[in-house]
Chains A and B, each alone.
Chain A
Amino acid sequence: MTDIVERPDGADEVERLDHIVIRFAGDSGDGMQLTGDRFTSASALFGNDLSTLPEYPAEIRAPAGTVHGVSSFQVHISDHDITTPGDAPSVLVAMNPAALRADLGRLEVGGTLIVNSDTFDERNLAKAGYHSDPLNDGSLANYRLITVAMTTLTKDAATPLGVKPRDADRSKNFFALGLVSFMYSRPTEPTLAWIDERFAKTELVQASNRAAFLAGYHYGETTEEFGHRYEVRPAQMPPGEYTNITGNVALSWGLVAAGQLAHLPVTLGSYPITPASDILHELSKHKHFGVRTVQAEDEIAAISLAIGAAFSGHLGITTTSGPGVALKSEATSLAVSLELPLIIIDIQRGGPSTGLPTKTEAADLNIAMYGRHGEAPLPVVASYSPAHCFFAAIEAARIALKYRTPVILLSDGYLANGSEPWKLPDVDTLPDISVPFTTEHNHVADDGTAEFWPYLRDPATLARPWAIPGTPGLMHRIGGIEKEDGTGNINYTPENHEKMVHLRAAKVAGIANDIPPAAVIGDADADVCVLGWGSTWAAIDAAVQRPRRRGHLTHLNPLPANLGDLLRGFRQIVVPELNLGQLCRIVRAEYLVDARSISKVQGLPFTAREIETAIDDALERLRTEASGGTQAP
């Protein structure tokens, strides 16, 4: 774990070309997420570096054919190391007029536009808000337009196999997948094998999807329209074994690993909420790792269950998104007071309230830092990429166990559902994060009797002992009422409360000595530093060129001990965040530095271009100041 996130050695030397950004867009019922996911898998197995951005409406099935029912999946594949799903797609596959209307604005000028012409009838055009047919009115002249009667061709391929025309219609996404697979030289075997396995139980569906996929592929092969075939060769990634992984799966596996590395059973209390539910689903599959999962009656019960499990000697975990963090606030404060290890995972989404449940945002830093009653500090850790979620989960567990404290781990919707290739770590090199339970008396009373004091702290970490039920002689009661340091007995005295408030704060602050110092990458005498946290890493990494410096935080509370000194070395600090400047305010308050917020709250991640512009603006400001406030030459 490091607080500066570096790209693999030598990655910057690779010349950046041969990459493509493809966006699949269609109706929510058209299977676009599946299509994108299969294209991604085939590309991963082919050895491309990749990054994905699924986008879908909050409604399960919005009215068919409408713009707000459009579901999209953007994938960036490359022969070199990449971190973002790409700014503007160079290829847009639009399955209906609504998808075209919703996503055309994102396509780069001159880009390739593949549309299913069968859906461009009067009714669908009207539903999408078109007054004339864009395929014929010249409005798409700036793009390379390829129209394919995908529905008709799919039906023609599938109905001879005995598939009903209406069922065949559902396979048209596989036609699109086949066509794009041909155009970008994806191997067909992985997709065919996947179709065979996935639809093994429904023979006709299997046959229909297979036929549609191959029809799409062969259509590309035999039609002159696709004479120019594009190939994205495998990326030159460091040697090793790779898997393609989303943030939520990586996070789940990180939690499983944390249990193994701590030699503890894991208990998850969770209440379903987008975009965190996948962690509950994934962990439910791994009971043979000693993972217990309970779908609780509500968010409060979910964290309460985890607290009960932690008291009993398990690694207690609860997973949620912003509204759930708010509901868990009281119990989180209890965990701060009980000083028990606990991991609270917040997969952030657009807020406030229900907000944008399926869109990303990183605006829960404030609630993570301050969203409790009383003085209730706790460590905050943030993951910065889908694969990093694995390590962030282990780090959150390490801190929670060692310091007997709840830890909030922040991820977001973009990391949760986005994927990237991950070079698998050697599990034997993962850290041992186990801590001993207390099994003996730890104090001698004035009369010489040995006793157990539940709040007698380790002088180095300030952590209290963890003695679990079943341990003879160490029976003790803990609670939310203020307790006396040492004995843990109820104590309301003014001096004791002040002491306890300071002790709890000092314990968390002291973790700064147990995390890596911050470092910055880039030019030694740069004026501007780009400081980020969380999923903005991808866009910052893609945008920041050599003459500037950047740092990226994975520990947000406490902040690395040297961060203030580092930041004070710059004339200006630019802080891009998917919120209105939450980290920016923290670093300004903590270090009195000239930090400027770059904000985006559209439910979308930053593009590299947006970060570049922000840096250019900062440099321009400095030049203006240097020339006495007049326009720089």
Chain B
Amino acid sequence: MSDTVVKLTTKKDWTSDQEVRWCPGCGDYGILLAVQQLMPDLGVNPENTVFISGIGCSSRFPYYMNTYGIHSIHGRAPAIATGVAVARPDLDVWVITGDGDGLSIGGNHLIHALRRNVNLTILLFNNRIYGLTKGQYSPTSELGKVTKSTPLGSIDPPFNPLAVALGAEASFVARTHDLDRKHMTEIFRAAHDHRGAAFVEIFQNCNVFNDAAFDDITGRERRAEMMIDLHHGEPIRFGVDGSRGVVMGADGQLRLVDVADVGAEALLIHDAHRNDPSLAFALARLSHDDHSPTPFGVFRSVERPDYGASVSAQLAAASTHKGPADLAALLRSNGTWTVANPN
């Protein structure tokens, strides 16, 4: 990208001429606005940017971006995006997916894109419901959830998206929510700047089929006591006036405490760059439901080789080792014999 001239752009340059068709009041609008406002600040050109999505409400996203894009098939966006990133490491590739698309039908592709550390910025819109198919439970729906397909309540234990990503060796894992544009912008920027696969879970409200799913955590009056903001290198502290915090017990378990009880110096210092993912995993598992304090921010951000660059490096090494491509030589490479002209 060093030889690419980055043009000055505004939000308008990143906005397509297509009418946005989400339901009025959908959380997706806020996410779209955050991304469109952020893009001019990222130092990239629209023509070098590709948005790939699968199927679901969130997957309409690429149509609204004035970039290259594919609205593909259910669950396959990470695989298609891997093809783009492998073929063209010069491009900025974003994946837009949802809890059904990314964790159910496309779960396999998601974990392998993370494992390979493909240079992708993956935004997973988690609304804990199937919206496009009108209201069935999703792999992140809570136990007991009553939906059209679970009239007696869901008996499927849900996935924890961040724990899945960490288990798949993701090098960048973060969480944000659709009500805080500033926080989204900060997280999306960090995810974009990360070289390799960046996974962002966005708590996103579906006001039609699963309204207020995150209200107990992200509702304005609840945020202070329920949202735990993670900042690398800082003590993990939350609550009104920072009165609460997180400590690690001798058994390695994380616990929520009142700072007054343990003292500020006992609080756990967040380390997103730790190679060992166990701390990030423990933080991802800190909250088990939508009614208890939940961490937001960057859980993990570590350096690993980027897959597309590694593929390109092998090609470059092969060219150095074997010289220029020579088709005629290839056809002779398994040994030949000559049949002489009978004359």
**Chain A residues within CB distance 8 Å of chain B:** 41, 44-45, 47, 234, 236-245, 249, 253, 256-257, 260, 265, 267, 269, 286-292, 294, 296-298, 300-301, 304-314, 316, 330-331, 334, 338, 423-425, 427, 469-481, 489-490
Contact = CB atoms under 8 A, between A and B. Distances in A.
Nearest to A479: B71
Interface in B299-337: 311, 314-315, 317-319, 321-325, 327-328, 330-332, 334-337
B321 to A, nearest CB: 7
A302 to B, nearest CB: 8
Contact of B83 (A243, A256, A307, A424): A307
Interface string B38-63: 00000001111111100100000011
A331 B18 CA distance: 25
B73 A330 contact: yes
Contact of A469 (B47, B311, B330, B335): B47
16 contacts: A237-B339, A243-B335, A256-B327, A287-B318, A294-B82, A300-B76, A300-B109, A304-B79, A304-B83, A307-B70, A307-B72, A424-B332, A469-B49, A472-B47, A479-B70, A490-B63
A475 B317 CA distance: 33
Contacts of B90: 470
B22 interface: no
Given A44-B337, A301-B112, A312-B91, 17 more contacts: A47-B337, A236-B342, A241-B337, A242-B338, A265-B87, A267-B83, A287-B314, A289-B325, A292-B87, A294-B82, A301-B76, A305-B83, A308-B81, A425-B331, A469-B49, A477-B16, A479-B71
Contacts of B49: 469
B340 to A, nearest CB: 6
Nearest to B343: A239
Name, among A241, A290, A304, A471, the residue most crowded by chain B CB atoms within 10 Å (CB to CB).
A304
B336 A304 contact: no
A480 B73 contact: yes
Name, among B80, B81, B91, the residue most crowded by chain A CB atoms within 10 Å (CB to CB).
B80
Contacts of B47: 469-475
B19 to A, nearest CB: 10
Interface in B65-100: 65-73, 76, 79-88, 90-91
B10 interface: no
B130 to A, nearest CB: 18
A475 B67 contact: yes
Contact of B339 (A238, A256, A472): A238
Contacts of B336: 241-243, 424
B332 to A, nearest CB: 7
Given A475-B46, A479-B72, A297 B112 contact: yes
Contact of B318 (A240, A288, A425, A476): A288
A489 B16 CA distance: 11
A480 B331 contact: no
Contacts of A265: 87
A493 B49 CA distance: 30
B2 interface: no
A330 B106 CA distance: 13
B315 A308 contact: no
Contacts of B67: 475
Nearest to A301: B79
B278 interface: no
Given A290-B315, A305-B82, A297 B109 contact: yes
B52 A308 contact: yes
Nearest to A308: B83
A23 B322 CA distance: 38
A471 B336 CA distance: 44
A258 to B, nearest CB: 10
A471 to B, nearest CB: 6
A-B interface, 10 closest residue pairs, ranked by CB to CB distance from nearest: A308-B83, A479-B71, A304-B79, A287-B318, A305-B83, A301-B79, A477-B69, A297-B112, A309-B87, A308-B80
A143 B112 CA distance: 58
Nearest to B323: A288
B341 interface: yes
Contact of A288 (B91, B112, B324, B341): B324
B82 A253 contact: no
Contact of A478 (B70, B81, B84, B338): B70
A340 to B, nearest CB: 9
B108 interface: yes
B253 to A, nearest CB: 34
Contact of A45 (B62, B311, B314, B337): B337
Contacts of B319: 287-288
B186 to A, nearest CB: 26
Contacts of B331: 243, 253, 424-425, 427
Contacts of B71: 477-481
Given A243-B335, A290-B325, A427-B331, A308 B314 contact: no
Nearest to B83: A308
A320 B112 CA distance: 20
Contacts of B334: 243-245, 249
B80 A305 contact: yes
Given A305-B79, A469-B91, A480 B69 contact: no
Contact of B328 (A287, A338, A427): A427
B122 to A, nearest CB: 14
Nearest to A314: B87
Contacts of B91: 312, 469-470
Contact of A312 (B87, B318, B327): B87
Contacts of A292: 86-87, 311, 315
